[in-house]
Structure formats: C-alpha cells, structure tokens
A and B are shown apart, each in its own frame.
Chain A
Amino acid sequence: MSFISNISSVSKYESKLLLRSWFFRLFTVMAMFPLTILNLGAFVVPDSSGFWPIKAIASNIPYFNLLILNAGQAVIAIFLASDFLKRDKKLDTSEVFYVHPLSNAEYVIGKIWGNLRVFLVLNLIIMGMALLFSFIGKVPVDWQSYIIYFFLISIPTLIYIIGLSIFLMLLLGNQALTFIILLGYVGITIFYFSDKFYYIFDYMAFYLPMVKSRVVGFTNLEAILTHRSIYLFAGLAFICITISLFRRLPNTSRGHYPWLALAVLFLACSGYSGYRHVQKITYQTEIRQVYTAVNNQYVHTPKMVVDHYDLRVEQQADRFTAEATLQGIALQASTRFTFCLNPGLTIQSIREGDRDLSFERERQIVLVDFERPRAEGEPLNLTITYAGKVDNAFCYLDIPEELLRKENRNFMFSADKQYSFHTSDYLLLTPETYWYPRPGTAYSTEDANWQQNYFSRFSLRVKPLPGLTPIAQGEAVPQADGSYTFAPEYPMQAMTLLSGRYEQKSVIASDSITYSVWHLGNRQLEAAFDSIRDTIPYLLVNFKEDMERQHKLQYAFPRFSLVEVPAQFHSYPHAWSEAQETIQPEMILMIENNWKDETYDLAKRTKRQKQWAKNQGQEINDEEAQIRTFNDVLHTLSRQEGETNFESSGRGGFNVSHQANPYFLFPLLYNFRYNIYSPEWPITNRMIELYLQNKSDNSGWEREVNGISNNEKASLLMEQLSFRELLANEEHRDLMSSVIGLKGQRLFAPAEITMGVNRFRDTVYALLERNTFSNIRFEYMLDTLEQVSQTPIRPDIQSWDEATPLPVFTVVPPVVTKYTYRGKETFVMKIQISNNSAEEGIIHLDINDGSRQTETRDPRTNRKIRMMPYEAKELVSVWEEVPRSADIYTLISGNLPNTIQQPISNIQQERGQSTAIEGDYTLTNGLPESWGEVIVDNEDSTLFILSEPERVGLLTQWLDETEETSFKYSGVTTWRPPYRWTATTNAGYYGQYIRSAYVIKSGSGSQTATWKVPVPAEGHYELYYYVHKNDDLRRGRGGDAEYQFRINYDGETEDAFLNMRRADNGWEQLGVYYLSADTLEVTLTNKCRSRSVTADAVKIVKR
C-alpha cells in the first residue's frame, strides 16, 4: 500500500509542478493551437484540400491527432523529465524528502508517473478534441481506435523518451547536454532514419505503418506490437537503471540490485523485440528468394494447359478449404507435370478421376505424377484438394526489395501493404496469391516462359461464412446450401475471389452492362450522388464509350463492378504489364473510400464544384455539381498516371514523377482479352500495351521541372546499355516504361513508314481482335505484321542486345507560306531536318491541322520519317487550312529536348499560285548555312567558359546540394533558381542538338559566363544574344530587367545591355562592332533585377 501511496504522493506533486511550469503550458497551447487549426481545416473549412485521408478512414482522426501531438510531446518530455533530476540537485529543500522512508523506486516512479499523467491528460484533451471535430465533420467515430492509437503511439513513446532522458541526465548530470543530445537524436530519427532499417529507429511511430482499416482493422498488429515493445521495454529498462543508479541511498543496503536485474530483463525483452521485428522482415526477403529459386528450378519442367477450372471453396474463419478440378491437355509429353500453389496452402490429395495420384511438393511447386507418360496434347484431368491460408510473402516476387519496403504513405498516414486478406469476416484472394493451383511456376528470373498465361474457362462454387457475400467474376447464383456459384461467360487468365459483408448497389444501363458498387457499409457514394441517380447510367455508358473510342478497344464484360477493399490493399505495376491487381476482369478493387485520392472527398468536391463554376461566371445546381463530381471520379479511372511524387532534388528543384494509376481501366479493355508473349523477352506484352496507348512523353510542365524527360533519359541510357541490360537494371526501374515504349516505337517505325502510322496501328488492332482470349506469341505477331506491311520488323530485335548509338538531328523551325490565288488560300509548310550523325534515325512528325485526335486523321498529320546518316530533308506539305502546330519528335536520339513543339506563327504571305509539290525532298548539300555567321553556344566546351562557383556558407551549400545523377541536365525553377551555374534544357533555348543553357540566381555580378567568338575576317559585325524568356520574364516580373554584358575586342572593353522585358524570344541584337580577325569575348554577368540569369548562345553576323 505504501508503495502506491508514496508513488501517488510524489506524482501528485510532480504533476503540480509540471502544470505550473510555463514551459509545459506553452507547449500545451502550441500543441492545441495548430491541431485545432488542422482539424478545422479538415472538418470545418469548406474549401481546404489535402485532408481527405483524415476523413476517409474514421480511425485516422485519432491517429493523425496523436501522431502530431506525439512528435511534440516526445521533444517536450525530454526537457521536463530531465528537469526533475536537475531540480533535485539544485534545490536544497529537496533533500528533506529524501529523508523520508519512501524507497528510491517509489520516488523515481512517482516522479515519472507525475510527468506521464500530465501528458496523458493532454492526450485525452487532444483525443476529446478529435472526437468533437469528427462529430462536427459528421465523420463516423471509431471508438476503439482512440484507445488503440493512444496505447500504440503515446504510451511507448513517452515511457521510452522519459526513461531515456532521465537515464542520460543521471549519466551526464547536465540537463542542457542531455537536451541537446536527445534533440539531436530525435532529429536524426525523424529526418534521417525515418523509415530506414525496417523502422527500427522510429521510436515515436511516426513512420510505422499503422492505418487501421474499417473492415479488417490492423493487418500488421503483431509487427506493430513487436515494434512498440522495443521502445516500451527499453523505456522501462532505462527507468529501472535510473532507479538503481539514483543518487540517494536506498532503503536497504542492497536495494538497487533487484532494479538492476529488472533493467537487464527489460533490456533483453526490448532487444528480443527488436530482433523479432527485424527478423520477421528479413525472413520475408529470404523466403522470397527461396520461392524465386524454386520457380527457377522448375520453370522448364513440363506443364499442362488448362481449358477449364472448376473451383469449390469453403470459407472458414482462419483458413479456407478448396477443391480444384483442372481439365486440359499436356503441353509437352511427360509423366510428371508441374503446378504452382501458394505455399501457405496445404494439399490433402490429388486425384485423377477416382484414382489418387502421388505428388511431390516443394514450397509452392507441386509435381504431380500421372503414373504413365502422357503425350503432347493428350487430355489431362485432375482434382486437387487443399486448405490453408495464403502466404503473402509469395506475392510480387518480381518486385525489388526496395520497392516492397517503400512506404505506402499519403499525407501523414502510412499504411501496411497487403496483397490478400483473410480474417474471420473478410476474404480477398487475387491471382497474384496463386490461391488455386495453376500449371507451371510463378515468377522466374531465369526464363520468361512462366509468363504464358493461357485463357481458360472457370466455374466457381463458394460457401462463404454465414452473413458474408462472395464476389467473383460472373453472376453470383445463390444455392440452397448457402453457397454461391459463379460461371463467367468468357475465358480468363485467372480468377479473383472476395467475401465479406458486401452490399451491392447496381444499375443496368442501356448497353446491358450491370454497373455495380460493392461496398462494406460505406454509403458515401450513394449519398453523394442522390440527385443524379437517373443520370448515372447515361454517364457510365458515355464514359465507357469514350474509353473504347480513345483506346480503340472494346469493353467485353457483361458487368462492371467497383469493389471496396480494405485500406491496406496494395498492388505494384509489373514490368510486363499495365495491369495491377487492383484491376481484375469486370472489376476494380478500390481501397476504402480511396483514401489516398482527394477526388473521393465527394461531398466536399460537389460543394466546391459550385464555387469553381462561380469563379468561371457559371451558376450550377446540385445536380450539375454532382454530375461534375461523378465525372471527376470516372476520370480517376481513365487517367494513366496516378499519384504525383515531388521529391526535393536540392538547389530548390524538385523531381516530379508519377506513379502508375492503379485504377486505370486500360487492362479491362486490353489485358484480360489479349496476351502477347515471348519466351525470350518478358516485356513484349508491355511493349504492345505502350504502343497501343501511344503514351506521350512527360513533355509539359514536368519536363520543365525535372529538366529532362523520362524518354530523354531513356534515350541517353540506351547509348550506354543494351535493351536487355536496361531491363535488368534496378537503378533505372522508374524509366522502364520509357525504355520499353521507345523500343516499341522504334520496332514498328519501319512498318509505320511503309504503311503509314494510322494504317499500321489499325493492322495491329485487327490482329489482336483475331486473337481474343488467346496467348499471342510475339515473334509470330511480328511475322504477321511483316507480311502485312511488307517491311522487315524482326531484325530490329537483334539490336536489343547492343547499346544504341544515338543519331542527332538539327531541326529548322517550320516555315509556312500562305498563297492566295483567285480567292482560294493554300498553305505550304516546309520543315528542314538534317541527321548530323553516322547513325540512321527516325523522327516522328505530328501536325495539328485542327481536326480532333479521335477522328480519322489525315495520314500526313501523323507520320514517321526515316533519316539516313548525314541526310538532310525538306518536308513539304500543302494544306487548305492553316496548320496550328507541328511537333517533331526525334525518338531515340541525342537531341535534348527530344520533342520540339512549334506553334505556327509568322506566316509569310504570297500572292499567286503555289508551285510547291508535297513530298520529302533530300537536300543534297545539307541544310543551307548562313554565310558569315559564327555561333557559340553554351554546349561548346572550349569557347564557352563559366566562372568558378562562389564560396558559400555551409547552409547554402546544403540547400544547394544536388543529388548526383548520371544526367547532366537538371530542372530549374524560376522561383528558386540555383546558386551555381546549372545546365538545363528547354526547347526554347538555342542548341544544335541539345537546346540547353546555364541558369544562375541573380547576384552581385561576380558570376559570369563568357563566350569566345572567333572572328573569321576583319569587318563590321552584328552581335546577337539568344533570348528565351522564362515565366518570370514573360509575366514581366523583375521590371526592366537588363542583362549586362562586357564586350572585349581588340584590347577594348565595352558594356552592352539587353532589356529582357522588351526582348523577343530568339536572336536579339546587342550591338554592331568593327572587329579585326581575332577573338571577340562576350561576358554575361549575373547582375540583374530578374530572379535568374540564363547563359545560352551568342552569334556574330558579318554585315
């Protein structure tokens, strides 16, 4: 009793002190104020954005609030906890308490509890606030999560940090030192270690994935508990050490030993938890390697092709039992055939008819002995009975470790990544899990052979747990025994099974397709579109037809379902396909409320639609607002790219990258009907996908931010590495799509040249259509295309094992001349291009003639042109209407940028009839050169010189640091220009092949760029500077910004100024000089009123 009462006495008075300290009061205010603002932003302010993840999942409200509070209290607790030891030392009156008969443990624990309970009260207040806001925001309350997060986040963090602080304080005896060391520690854990090393340093659980699903709760509770135990036990150990080392004589002479022993025990527990935590993660890596090795071992063993799967599944709380009957034929002659089944599932028996077959199992591989040899094509029929729970570690063997470990984060919330679910009331099995036996092996690094995905017929009978509704492909037909049968009307490569407390909202539209939403008690969608219920079918059909038109492919399923799945469901794009596991035949598996996508904050979005309309001078009603929101939602299914990632790349720059949109519907149009396969190249299907999508390069604002596009990076890499090497290159995995896409474009380019781009593409579509629901061998496909186009295509594949030397092109901007003759106007466009290399190259020309992209296009607007080594061409075309723009893509080339987009302006006028005849003309003398012109560009390594970078402070250096990449050019922003001369590219800059320039932040004028222009002969010369006005200059920021030049010639120095506001893009004259045959030096300084100065090119022209 005295133990408790002493602790409570000490803690009571310790709490009193804490509550009276200004430091704590200030912190309380500082914690509550921003949290209130954030909550207001999330739940009350009508047009705030970025808060969807908080609202989308009810448990995220306490999670969010506690996470932020915790980060603060973890710092404050250091100070306050270490304070009591300091106080005891400093205040001469504390000793009188030591004289009392309480034990050291009671005293220390009392002090800690006094600290802790004040923080706990603060936590309660914050949680109360969170609760209040969720009521205000009409968000459902997940009561459980308040308690859980409190115990998972706050308690271990506080105990650990308080324990650590007093321990260090006792050790060092100096509060300031303790505080500084621990503050450094906190900083390092948050900003450096963050999620590194399996989150082991994340003591405040800031990064630990802890999003709790409404449906399945935590999927990694064991991992979370293990992780939190590390710190809870470590904290307790520190407290025990502090008790035993406390500088007061213990009540009994050996009083400190038990605490020391306890400290050792707690440390051991903490260490063991840490070991378990890491071991569980590293085990996954190891076992994945084992699985892949097993696949590699059996990838060449004989297998069968299944024509028909008959699956029977009974769902149980912790496992499922199943029976799979496979009917098909032997692909090769053999007695033993290979199958693959998730290693978490145990096979009970395998039968052929009534006969038991013997089999061997190695991890996922099942080798079935059919007792007598079967000939190729001979029918095979077997029934496999099995049961268990799938092992998620078996999924995504192709995805690199780094990517698997990458956080699944949005805003403050990090979610666990699960590929299947199996709880007492929920089941989700996607093909990735191999939840039923399939012939052959899963992912192999040895051979692409495993990829042959044959189309089969499926029938499925599921007995779910009582009260649950199963979902799979096909119409669910309830049976008398509580089970459901599914018999999809079309062949599939694989089947998906879900079972949960699903509710269906569906509508049959005019195209006879049943559109459904399957939700797990989430009525957001229903409520958000209550006014447009009758319009929805129309919108859906419209959307579907748009998609079909855009991709020239048909949606061939009788149903389309949006199925809600738990928040932690995650998928990765495979290298060989656009299709992620989120997309399954006839269904999309969408995470709860699509919590990572702001678009799904439907109520708020609908409200904002009205505001947006108003901003544009429109007045819209509820119905129209809901329609717009509905279309926005549909748009999230039709865009190729998903989340945009901004990563700081130093120097104020960002790197923008896009994740593939997991909900992009393209696979529903393509992947579940066609499959291209090559035993040698695992990416042929992806190549065709990309070719069909006609994916444009990220040439817009992203290119400007990044300084280089992915396709350009891919091109440059191809010069160093062969296609095969690039495919195996993990470092450049993010460029994989660009590499494959470019190779595909190059592969088909000769045929496109022969047939015309549009006609050739139509041929590809027709070929696919003839092979619906069958495996198309890539090589055969190419043979057919060769025959149709009468052009060799396959030879290009031989070059895939070699690096590609890059051609470089000079492109003269198109010139358009308008001829008016007898009232009729014709426009003649001339584009001059030369290939300045010894490599053959192909360029793509895209002319916007004003017609819509989806309409049948004039073949002249979209074509490819072959450029032989050192060939120069003039492309002449005649138009009845003025062409709006001409985009020239140099494809795989050394040109930067590789896309030159030229709006047509400055149309020359001529009277009379045009004599021009359409065609591509070879210019035998190359491109015409201007006589007497000398140009020095920033790419010239000998004639262009930059000043040495200035010495700058450490902080500036750190801010300015760039990540070392293999790419010379980086993005430059106008709002935070670099401190050093930084190379960047832009179509607006001058350059023969590489349109680049150096940019620097304006300054004192100490930084310079110098062009040394050789003067060919004595005489009068006009000096020009090449101007490209960035955003700032175009908008007139910086007022009358003037570039300042020093002109050195014949021993004299003159200043020259260029008013950038008045200057036009292109060559601007700096002055006229009389030059002797020597060198002219033009120096540009960084002294300017605009934010940055750009050094590009100068030229002299003889008068």
Chain B
Amino acid sequence: MSISIKGLNKTYANGNKALKDINLEIPTGMFGLLGPNGAGKSTLMRILVALMEPTSGEVNVFGHDLLKDRKEVRRLLGYLPQDFRFFAKYKTHEFLDYAARLSGMNNTRKRREAVDQMLESVGLFDVRERYANKLSGGMKRRLGIAQALIHNPKVIIVDEPTTGLDPEERIRFRNLLTAVSEQDVTIILSTHIVGDISSSCKCMALMNKGEVAYYGSPEEMLRQAEGKVWRIQIMGDQLHEIDKKYPIISTIPSGSGWEVQVIADEIRGYDAEPYPPNLEHAYVYYMESKLNQWIIDN
C-alpha cells in the first residue's frame, strides 16, 4: 500500500467534525474519492498534502509518518487544489518554473527542458508567455496539473479537478490523468462527479458526512446495484406520485408521458422493467439505499 490512513479524525475549531475515524488503504494507481459536497473529501486531501493537521489519527505515506516527517512526505507529493483560479503576477512558464525550483530541480537547463516539455504535454506551450491570470479556466486547471506533475511525484493529489470545466476540457483532463496513471504513481482523485471515476480507477472510496461509506473497486459497487435500477413509463400526472415513492435518477419526456429511471428493490403497479446500472446509478443507489440520502447530480 502506498498510503495508509488509520483512525483519522478532524474536528474544526467551530466543533464541526469533518472527518470521523477514517481508515483507508490507498494502493498504487488511480484512487477515486467520491462523495457529495461537504463529505470531507477536501479536508482529507488537505491533510494528505500536509496543509492541515488532523485532530488525531495516523497517515503513512510510502513509509513516512505524515505528522512527524512532513518534509519527506512533501517530497513525494504533487497537489492540485480544488480552487485554482487566482495567480500572482507570473507568466505561465514562470509559475511552472517556480514550482519546479521549489521541488528541488536545481539544474537550470534540465528544469527549463522539463518545463517546456510539461507545457507541451498539457497543451500550454503556445501560451507560455501569457500571464497565468489571463488563461481560461481549463488552461488554468491544466497548468495546475502541470505544476503537480512537473517533478514526477509518486503521489498526486487532485481535488475536484473537473468542476466548472466544459465537457471537452473535462474529457481532455480525464485523459491526461489516465495517461499519468499508466505510470507507477498513486493518484488520488477527489470528486463529486461520478463520471470522473473512470475505468482506470482500480480502487475507490465513497465518503459521506466525514465517513467512508464504501471502500473497494468500482466494479464491486456496480455489482451491488445490479437489479436495483428500473425504467418506468408513466403518464404526465404520475410523475409527482413516483417522485414521492422512489428516488428518481432521470426523467425523459416520451410521447404524452415520461420515461423515468428510479432506484428500487422492486416496483409494483407501474409499467417497469429492470435496467443495467452504470456507476452513477450505483452511486445513487448506494447513497439512497445504504445511507438513505438523495443527492442531485449536476
């Protein structure tokens, strides 16, 4: 295991318990951390990158105790925070160069090559002279991942990387991460967007209200949702009724009525047929049935 987290708790000064006894083993490869807003994902991420101190618990990163030997842990990390919008007055390549220097790349020539290469690979080489503040949202995020990757870290922590991106950028960003995950690194991807947990995620955790609700592979989670997703054809005036009875995943207008996908162990009294679940269905099912909570995807 590359990272192991034991009995991690975080209580904020205002008494808010953000993390409650988190135990996680994170293997090499891409690790998805899924959960609704406010589930404690970012708190966990910030503790993992040593920006925040846990109230109690242990974190071990590649054999280093995060609480005692932050310097060693920091050497291994690349981090892209959730919010990554406002820059000091640096040019794109300067920002990357600064990050590179701080991670110990002291050889000027090598560093310059690495920076150029990284800019090339994230598609920012053409805008390298542009002030980072003037980049578009997607470009900023790419610059973010570039600075997290520039020094070839063993652990890359990306917090909600696709939020606010347009679909094209989102796909591009997922591909970029997938490409990185091919290498021998650990990527921790925190997201509340189920679609971000791609097939390359071998392991994942679902967090809710500061607790780990699910830990395992995405396939296993999918498997647990099998037979629990139904498609119902209803008339227009029945929608309200259905909504009261079952968690609705999607509604599509069809003819004079609706085609509704819902989560349920079984359906009675409607024209329903089982539907093969995807990860999103599984997530909803999980949240609904296990935790009795309904969330709205954006």
Q: Residues of A with Cβ closer than 8 Å to B? A: 2, 5-6, 9-10, 12-13, 16-17, 20-21, 87, 90-103, 248-253
* Known A96-B80, A252-B71: A13·B94 in contact at CB below 8 Å: yes
Residues of the B chain whose Cβ atoms lie less than 8 Å from the Cβ of A96: 79-81, 84, 99, 144, 147-148
Which B residues lie within 8 Å of A253 (CB)?
67-68, 70
- Across the two chains, which residue of chain B brings its CB closest to A19? B89
Asked if A249 and B103 make an inter-chain contact with CB atoms under 8 angstroms apart, the answer reads no
Contacting chain A: which of B50-58, B268-276, B277-285? B50-58
Residues A99 and B77 in contact, CB atoms below 8 Å apart: yes
Contacts A2-B104, A251-B70 given; indicate if A99 touches B87 (C-beta within 8 A): no
Q: Which of A9, A92, A250 contacts B84 (CB 8 A)?
A: A92
Q: Which residues of A contact B266 (CB under 8 A)?
A: none
B74 and A101 within 8 A (CB)? yes
A313 to B104: give the CA distance in the assembly, Å: 68
- Residue pair B69, A252 in contact (C-beta under 8 Å): yes
A249-B53, A251-B71 known; A92-B102 Cβ under 8 A: no
With A12-B101, A16-B89, A99-B78 already in contact, 19 other A-B pairs whose C-beta atoms are closer than 8 Å: A2-B104, A5-B106, A6-B102, A10-B102, A17-B90, A91-B86, A91-B88, A92-B84, A93-B88, A93-B144, A96-B79, A96-B80, A96-B99, A96-B148, A97-B102, A99-B77, A100-B74, A100-B102, A252-B70
Please tell me if the beta carbons of B68 and A95 are within 8 angstroms of each other in the complex: no
Which A residues touch B26, using CB under 8 A?
A: none
Nearest neighbor of B77 in chain A, beta-carbon distance = A99
What A residues does B132 contact at CB under 8 A?
A: 93
In the complex, A282→B104 CA distance in Å?
A: 54
- Closest Cβ neighbor of B140 among chain A residues: A93
In chain A, what residue has the closest Cβ to B153?
Answer: A99
Q: Is the CB of B70 within 8 A of A250?
A: yes
Contact of B85 with A by CB under 8 A: yes
Give CA–CA (A91, B99) in the complex, Å. Answer: 15
Nearest to B106 among chain A residues (CB) is: A5
**A9, A10, A93: which contacts B87 (Cβ < 8 A)?**
A93
A92 CA to B86 CA in the complex, in Å? 6
Task: Please give, as numbers and ranges, the residues of chain B lying within 8 Å of A102 by CB-CB distance.
Answer: 102
Taking CB atoms and an 8 Å cut-off, the chain B residues in 20-67 that contact chain A are 49-53, 67
Chain B CB within 10 Å — which of A20, A99, A251 has the most? A99
Closest 9 CB pairs between A and B? A251-B71, A9-B101, A100-B102, A92-B83, A101-B74, A99-B79, A101-B75, A91-B86, A20-B89
B70:A95 contact, CB within 8 angstroms: no
CB distance from B99 to the nearest CB of A (A): 6
Cα distance A9–B77 in the bound complex, in angstroms? 19
**B76 CB, nearest partner CB in chain A, Å:** 9
Q: Which of B72, B87, B90, B103 contacts A100 (CB 8 A)?
A: B103
Q: How far is the CA of A10 from the CA of B103 in the complex (A)?
A: 12
A93 and B132 CA atoms in complex are apart in Å by: 10
Q: Which chain B residue has the least Cβ–Cβ distance from A97?
A: B102
A9 vs B105: C-alpha distance when bound (angstroms): 11
Is B99 a contact of A97 with CB atoms below 8 Å? yes
In this complex, the member of A96, A98, A103 whose beta carbon has the largest number of chain B beta carbons within 10 angstroms is A96
Taking a contact as CB atoms under 8 Å apart, the answer to whether B87 and A91 are in contact is yes
- Quote the shortest CB–CB distance from A94 to chain B (angstroms): 7
A114 to chain B, nearest CB (A): 12
Q: How many residues of B contact A (CB 8 A)?
A: 39
Closest to B67 in A: A253
Give the tally of cross-chain contacts (CB within 8 A).
Answer: 93
Most chain B CB within 10 A, of A9, A102, A250, is at A9
Complexed CA–CA distance, A48 and B84 (Å): 57
Chain B residue contacts of A87, Cβ below 8 A: 88
Contacts A16-B94, A101-B103, A102-B102 given: A94-B88 contact, CB under 8 Å? Answer: yes
- In the assembly, what is the distance between CA of A17 and CA of B87, in Å? 11
Does B12 count as interface, using CB distance less than 8 angstroms? no
How far apart sit A99 and B74, CA to CA, in the bound complex (Å)?
A: 6
* Distance of A21 Cα from B90 Cα, bound (Å): 11
In the complex, whether B246 has a CB less than 8 A from a CB of chain A is no
Query: B294 interface residue, CB < 8 Å from A?
Result: no
Pull 6 A–B residue pairs with CB atoms less than 8 Å apart, ordered by A: A13-B94, A93-B88, A101-B102, A249-B51, A252-B69, A253-B68
Q: Which residue of B lies closest to A99 (CB)?
A: B79
B90 & A13 in contact (Cβ 8 Å cutoff): yes
Which has the most chain B C-beta neighbours within 10 Å: A249, A250, A251?
A: A249
Residue of B nearest to A92 (CB): B83
Chain B residues within 8 Å of A250, by CB: 70
**Chain A residues closer than 8 Å to B84, beta-carbon distance:** 92-93, 96
Checking B51, B53, B89, B103 against A95 with a beta-carbon cut-off of 8 angstroms, the contacting residue is: B51
CB pair A9–B102 under 8 Å, yes or no, is yes
Residues of B134-175 contacting chain A, CB below 8 A: 144, 147-148
Known A-B contacts A16-B94, A95-B81; A248 and B51 likewise in contact (beta carbons under 8 Å)? yes
From residue A321, how far is it (CB to closest CB) to chain B in Å? 62
Q: How far is the CA of A101 from the CA of B89 in the complex (A)?
A: 23
Interface of chain B residues 97 through 122 with chain A (CB within 8 A): 98-99, 101-104, 106
Q: Chain A residues with Cβ under 8 A from B87's Cβ?
A: 91, 93
Given A5-B106, A9-B98, A252-B71, does the pair A99, B86 have CB atoms closer than 8 Å?
no
Q: Which residue of A lies closest to B85 (CB)?
A: A92
The answer on a CB contact under 8 Å between B99 and A100 is yes
- Chain A contacts of B98 at CB under 8 A? 9, 13, 97
A1088 to B67, CA, bound (A): 81
A90, B86: Cβ atoms under 8 Å? Answer: yes
Give Cα A20 to B98, complex, Å: 16
Enumerate chain B residues within 8 angstroms of A90, measured Cβ to Cβ. 86
Write the nearest CB–CB distance from B83 to chain A, whole angstroms: 4
A21 CB to closest chain B CB (Å) equals 8
CA distance A87 to B89 in the complex (A): 11
Complex Cα–Cα for A21 and B104 (A): 27
**Hey, which chain B residues are within 8 Å of A17, CB to CB?**
88-90
* CB contact under 8 A between A5 and B101, given known A20-B89, A93-B87, A248-B51: yes
| Nearest Cβ on chain B to A551's Cβ, whole angstroms | 73
- Identify the closest chain A residue to B72 (Cβ): A101
* CA A115 to CA B101, docked complex, whole Å: 19
What CA separation (Å) do A442 and B196 show in the bound complex? 95
Chain A residues with CB under 8 Å of B86's CB are 90-93
Give which listed residue, B51, B90, B94, B95, contacts A99 with CB less than 8 A: B51
Which of B68, B69, B86: most chain A CB closer than 10 A?
B86
In the complex, the answer to whether A99 meets B68 with C-beta atoms within 8 Å is no
CB-defined contacts of B144 to chain A, threshold 8 Å: 93, 96
The residues of B that contact A249 with a CB separation of less than 8 Å are 50-53, 70
- B residues within 8 A CB of A92? 81, 83-86
Complex contacts, A2 vs chain B, CB 8 Å:
104
B126 CB to closest chain A CB, in angstroms? 21
* Chain B residue at minimum C-beta to C-beta distance from A100: B102
Report Cα–Cα, A5/B144, bound state, in Å. 23
Known contacts A9-B102, A99-B74, A101-B104; is-contact A252 B68 (Cβ 8 Å): yes
Nearest CB in chain A to that of B100: its residue: A9
- Chain B hits for A16, CB < 8 A: 89-90, 94
For the complex, give the distance between the alpha carbons of A249 and B79 in Å.
Answer: 16
CA A101 – CA B104 in complex, angstroms?
A: 8
In angstroms, Cα B85 to Cα A90, docked, is 11
Q: How far is the CA of A21 from the CA of B88 in the complex (A)?
A: 10
Greatest chain B CB density within 10 A among A20, A97, A101 is at A101
- In the complex, the answer to whether A103 meets B51 with C-beta atoms within 8 Å is no
Taking the nearest CB of chain B, how far is it from the CB of A16, in angstroms?
7
**Which residues of the other chain, A, contact B67 by a CB distance below 8 angstroms?**
253
Pairwise interchain contact B90-A101, C-beta atoms closer than 8 A: no
Chain B residues contacting A6 (CB-CB under 8 Å) are 101-102
Interface string of B227-253 (1 = CB under 8 A from A): 000000000000000000000000000
Rounded to whole angstroms, the CA-CA distance of A719 and B236 in the bound complex is 112
Report B-chain residues with C-beta under 8 Å of the C-beta of A94.
88
List B contacts of A9 (CB < 8 A): 98, 101-102
A21, A93, A251: which has the most chain B beta carbons within 10 Å? A93
* B89 close to A99 (CB less than 8 A): no
